[in-house]
């Protein structure tokens, strides 16, 4: 939308029955990642309930659209935008949209500005909220400090283990301190697991709430299996160092060495794809999938292997559970907050335990079936409408 069209915005504002007017500035919306799916799902849930909600995100054009009390503002990223990952872009000059975004925000009259992170859109939202004196809520979705250390590890492989450990710990501490500077801006914070809730509350001194994620159990549901087909093990997510995806190749090699027949299906993109394809030549690499196509692939799996130790939540794990698939994840980070060991999934303490569990589970289809049933039952409690209700409870606490 051109700046000359601003005048139509004011007439588009609608009233409601007292629900907080929320402007969500999300760093991912169209992409295939957890933050994007979270943002789209909360926006859709707000729309179903006729809540006054504005979602602001980066994209290929600058435009504003209205659907009753639900509004969307897309801000065009420039040619200067940096592609940090296949699903993560940072535009250092996104602030050029400040005036237009302020017009839209003024017309919408938000009670709350919610920012999802310190990327380009989040920084713009923080600046607007601060200058317009609108209470800011910040949610933490990415362990940037752990990612920084993991991605730096390859540069220090030449060092003795003790020295390398100290250097990487210093990098992680510095990255955490930098991220916390941004998270001191909001009035209230949220995080998707209790470990992060405690960390943020302790390091910032701010009220910090648990922010659950949800899953669409109608889309992600159990599918019919061929009992005579080969065991299928899958992974869904970004193929990058912080996801610890190279452990999948180790699992694959161990299964081959022990004579356990299995097919690997890898869904996602990232810088580690080429390495994984060389290390796992028999695996199926499906690229990025969404919606019903992704749901079908989940439903065809027997075991979902998720080796990331630094996940803040792990929405892919919850989607696999909703699909009735037994999951194997690490006993730390986000999945450990909602996977019940040996009931709705299996939690491994370290890499060695993860590999051993993968082999044991691949040999025991009866146990996998039991875990899949437990996973589906657990996932049914995580609807997006329940998540939205709890989120609006936090918004009301901020205002009152």
What pLDDT score was predicted for residue 7?
34
Is the pLDDT at 2 greater than 60, yes or no?
A: no
Q: How far is CA 267 from the centre of its chain?
A: 15
Q: Would you place residue 15 in the very low, low, confident or very high pLDDT band (cuts 50, 70, 90)?
A: very low
Paired tokens of 290:
């969404």
Is the pLDDT at 10 greater than 60, yes or no?
A: no
Provide the CATH number for the domain formed by 232-379 in this structure.
3.40.50.2000
Q: Would you place residue 225 in the very low, low, confident or very high pLDDT band (cuts 50, 70, 90)?
A: confident
Residues near 352 by beta carbon (within 8 Å), at least 6 away in sequence: none
Paired tokens of 166:
């100290």
Is the pLDDT at 282 greater than 90, yes or no?
A: yes
Model pTM above 0.85: no
Q: For the ranges 3-17, 106-120, 177-191, 297-311, which has the lowest average pLDDT? A: 3-17
pLDDT in tens, 290-323: 999 999 999 999 999 999 988 888 999 999 999 9
**Mean pLDDT value across the chain:** 88
Rounded-to-integer distance, Cα 29 and Cα 41, Å? 10
Rounded-to-integer distance, Cα 342 and Cα 1, Å? 53
Q: What's the half-sphere exposure (Cβ side, CA atoms, 13 Å) at 291?
A: 3
State whether the Cα torsion 309-310-312-318 is positive or negative: negative
Nearest to 54 by CA among 102, 108, 94, 118: 108
What pLDDT score was predicted for residue 13?
39
pLDDT in tens, 372-388: 999 999 999 888 888 89
Provide the CATH number for the domain formed by 3-140+183-214+383-399 in this structure.
3.40.50.2000
Rounded-to-integer distance, Cα 349 and Cα 326, Å? 17
Paired tokens of 287:
């690229």
Three-class secondary structure of residue 312 per DSSP: coil
Q: Would you place residue 150 in the very low, low, confident or very high pLDDT band (cuts 50, 70, 90)?
A: low
- Average of pLDDT values for 266-284? 96
What pLDDT score was predicted for residue 397?
92
If one compares 178 and 149, the residue with the highest pLDDT of the two is 178
Is the pLDDT at 11 greater than 60, yes or no?
A: no
CATH 3.40.50.2000 residue spans of the chain? 3-140+183-214+383-399, 232-379
pLDDT in tens, 21-35: 999 999 999 987 888
Paired tokens of 54:
């504005």
Token pair 């390859």 in the structure block, residue? 154
What pLDDT score was predicted for residue 84?
66
If one compares 14 and 119, the residue with the highest pLDDT of the two is 119
- Average of pLDDT values for 166-194? 78
CB 63, CB 89: distance < 8 Å: no
């Amino acid at each position: 939308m051109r700046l000359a069209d601003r005048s139509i915005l004011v007439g588009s504002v609608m009233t409601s029955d007292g629900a907080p007017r929320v402007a969500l500035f999300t760093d991912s919306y169209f992409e295939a990642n957890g933050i994007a799916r979270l943002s789209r799902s909360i926006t859709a849930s707000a729309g179903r309930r006729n809540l006054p909600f504005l979602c602001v995100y980066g994209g290929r054009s600058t435009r504003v659209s209205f659907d009753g009390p639900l509004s969307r503002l897309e801000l065009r990223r420039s040619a200067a935008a940096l592609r940090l990952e296949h699903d993560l872009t940072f535009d250092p000059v996104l602030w050029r949209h400040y005036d237009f975004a302020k017009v839209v925000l003024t017309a919408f009259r938000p009670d709350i500005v919610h920012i999802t992170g310190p990327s380009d859109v989040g920084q713009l939202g923080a600046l607007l909220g601060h200058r317009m004196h609108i209470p800011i809520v910040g949610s933490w979705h990415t362990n940037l400090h752990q990612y920084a250390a993991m991605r730096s590890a390859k540069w220090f492989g030449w060092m003795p283990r003790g020295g390398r450990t100290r250097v990487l710990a210093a990098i992680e501490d510095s990255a955490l301190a930098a991220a916390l500077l941004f998270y001191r801006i909001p009035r209230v914070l949220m995080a998707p697991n209790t470990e992060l809730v405690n960390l943020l509350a302790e390091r910032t001194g701010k009220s910090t709430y648990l922010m659950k994620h949800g899953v669409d159990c109608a889309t992600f549901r159990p599918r019919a299996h061929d009992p005579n087909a080969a065991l299928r093990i899958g992974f869904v997510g970004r193929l990058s160092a912080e996801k610890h995806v190279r452990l999948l190749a180790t699992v694959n090699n161990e299964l081959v060495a022990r004579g356990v027949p299995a097919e690997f299906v890898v869904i996602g993109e990232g810088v580690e794809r080429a390495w994984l394809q060389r290390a796992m030549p028999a695996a199926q690499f499906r690229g990025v999938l969404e919606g019903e196509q992704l749901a079908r692939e989940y439903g065809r799996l027997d075991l979902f292997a998720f080796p990331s130790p630094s996940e803040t939540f792990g929405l892919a794990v919850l989607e696999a559970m909703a699909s009735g698939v037994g999951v194997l994840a690490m006993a730390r980070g986000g999945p450990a907050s909602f996977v019940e060991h040996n009931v709705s999934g299996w939690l491994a303490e370290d890499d060695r335990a993860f590999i051993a569990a993968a082999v044991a589970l691949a040999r025991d289809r009866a146990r996998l079936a039991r875990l899949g049933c437990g996973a589906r039952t657990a996932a049914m409690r995580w609807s997006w409408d329940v998540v939205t209700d709890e989120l609006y409870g936090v918004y009301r606490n901020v205002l009152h």
